[in-house]
C-alpha cells in the first residue's frame, strides 16, 4: 500500500488573518473559504508546489488548547525549502516574524532556521545546496 500527504491542518484563532499571513509570507493560494456544518471557518490554501494547508477556527463547543512553538513531542513543525535562507530571514523579519533558532548548518551543508508563525506554529526554513 502506498501513502501520500493529502494536507496539513492548522487551527487558528482568526483563520482569515492566519491564511492571509501565509499568502503574504509564503505565496500560499487560497482556493476555498467556507463555514463547515460544525460551525468552523475553514480556509483551504495550496503551497506553490500544491500541498494543501487547511486553516480553520474552532468548531462550535470546542475548547482549544494553546499552540506550542517550543520543541515538543508530537507534530513539532513543518519545513519549507527556500532558495536563500539569509534573504528569507530578512524578509521574515520585515513581516515581524520571530526567529526561534538559527540559522545553522546541519548535515549535507543544509542551512536551517526555525521561525514562529501565527498561532504559535513552528516552521523550519531550509536552504538545500545545489
- Model confidence over 14-69: pLDDT tens digits? 999 999 999 999 999 999 999 999 999 999 999 999 999 999 999 999 999 999 99
**How many domains are there within the chain?**
2
Q: Domain containing 46: what range?
A: 7-56
Does some domain include residue 62? no
Name the pTM for this structure: 0.90
**Residue 43 domain-assigned (yes or no):** yes
How many angstroms separate the first and last alpha carbons of the chain? 33
> CB–CB of 40/33 below 8 Å?
no
Q: What is the domain-level CATH number for residue 121?
A: 3.10.180.10
pLDDT-based confidence at 11, cuts 50/70/90? very high
Question: E strands within 3-117?
Answer: 7-11, 29-35, 41-46, 52-56, 78-81, 98-106, 110-117
Amino acid at each position: 500500500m502506498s501513502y501520500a500527504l493529502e494536507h496539513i491542518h492548522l487551527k487558528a484563532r482568526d483563520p482569515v488573518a492566519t491564511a492571509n499571513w501565509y499568502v503574504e509570507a509564503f505565496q500560499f493560494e487560497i482556493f476555498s473559504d467556507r463555514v463547515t456544518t460544525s460551525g468552523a471557518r475553514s480556509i483551504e490554501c495550496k503551497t506553490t508546489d500544491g500541498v494543501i494547508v487547511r486553516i480553520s477556527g474552532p468548531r462550535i463547543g470546542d475548547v482549544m488548547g494553546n499552540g506550542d512553538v517550543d520543541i515538543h513531542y508530537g507534530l513539532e513543525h513543518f519545513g519549507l525549502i527556500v532558495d536563500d535562507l539569509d534573504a528569507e530571514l530578512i524578509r521574515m523579519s520585515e513581516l515581524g516574524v520571530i526567529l526561534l533558532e538559527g540559522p545553522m548548518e546541519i548535515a549535507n551543508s543544509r542551512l536551517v532556521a526555525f521561525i514562529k508563525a501565527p498561532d504559535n506554529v513552528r516552521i523550519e526554513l531550509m536552504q538545500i545546496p545545489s
